[in-house]
């Protein structure tokens, strides 16, 4: 199933995705939040181990389940939807962390397809910050960008790298690309 009205915003941690998604939502667009932070918060609250620093395989399984759930939840939506990360992010994360890629994951990335143009936020050292849920050092954060770009491209998506400009200009840039696909 391909949903041409589903646009993915992805990239390494701390690269400005959430701020842009908040601006898109403020402008009236449907925005689906990332699944990683809620999983981490829940696992911490229940003293679970499906965390990137404890059990990456369980964490990856939960990310995949939640991402598929979100895709299915919005499958009948005909308006533009912006996703803070997509199902292929789990694939990229598995490659980044040297985990085996399951048949279930590969089936999901092939079965649930977003618009072929995805927006990827490059590592931006000047705005990167760690916190209680984002523990990657700058090297891993930057490597995440490259791994996600490679993963999406290997799955047939065209990546549009966002310029490092203020939030409102990044938002305008994305909306211009949505109106005129593949003009970058």
- For residues 177 and 159, give the distance between their C-alpha atoms in angstroms, rounded to a whole number: 11
- DSSP H or E run through 7: strand 6-11
CB atoms within 10 A of CB 85: 23
Would you say residue 137 has pLDDT above 90? Answer: no
Of 152, 90, 147, the closest CA to residue 117 belongs to: 152
The residues with which 84 forms a beta bridge, in sequence order, are: 9
Cβ-based burial of 94 (10 A; exposed 0-12, middle 13-18, buried ≥19): buried
40 touches 134 (CB < 8 A): no
Q: Domains of the chain (ranges plus CATH)?
A: 6-179 (3.40.50.300)
Q: Reduced to 3 states, what is the DSSP secondary structure of residue 83?
A: strand
Q: Using pLDDT thresholds of 50, 70 and 90, give the confidence band for residue 36.
A: confident
pLDDT at 128: 54
Q: What is the mean pLDDT of the chain?
A: 88
Task: Give the distance, in angstroms, between the CA of residue 22 and the centroid of all CA atoms in the same chain.
Answer: 14
Task: Please report, for residues 20, 49, 50, 53, 88, the alpha-carbon distance to residue 154 in angstroms, rounded to integers and kept in the order given.
Answer: 25, 31, 27, 27, 10
Is the pLDDT reported for residue 66 higher than 80?
A: yes
E strands in 28-129: 30-32, 81-84, 117-121
Q: What is the pLDDT of residue 182?
A: 60
Q: What is the pLDDT of residue 117?
A: 96
pLDDT value at residue 183: 52
Question: What integer pLDDT is reported at residue 84 of this predicted model?
Answer: 94
164 vs 86, residue with greater confidence: 86
Half-sphere exposure of 64 (CA within 13 A, CB side): 23
Q: Which of 49-58, 111-120, 129-138 has the lowest mean pLDDT?
A: 129-138
């Amino acid at each position: 199933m391909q949903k041409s009205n589903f646009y993915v915003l992805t990239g390494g941690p701390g690269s400005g995705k959430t701020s842009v998604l908040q601006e898109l939502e403020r402008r009236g667009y449907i925005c689906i939040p990332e699944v990683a932070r809620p999983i981490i918060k829940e696992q911490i609250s229940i003293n679970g181990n499906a965390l990137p620093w404890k059990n990456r395989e369980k964490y990856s399984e939960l990310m995949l389940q939640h991402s598929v759930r979100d895709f299915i939840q919005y499958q009948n939506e005909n308006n533009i939807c912006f996703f803070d990360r997509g199902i292929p992010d789990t694939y990229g994360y598995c490659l980044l962390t040297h985990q085996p890629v399951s048949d279930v994951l590969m089936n999901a990335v092939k079965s649930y397809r977003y618009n072929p143009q995805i927006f990827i936020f490059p590592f931006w050292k000047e705005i990167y910050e760690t916190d209680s849920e984002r523990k990657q050092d700058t090297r891993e954060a930057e490597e995440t960008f490259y791994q996600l770009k490679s993963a999406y491209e290997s799955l047939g998506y065209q990546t549009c790298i966002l310029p490092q400009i203020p939030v409102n200009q990044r938002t305008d840039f994305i909306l211009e690309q949505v109106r005129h696909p593949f003009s970058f």
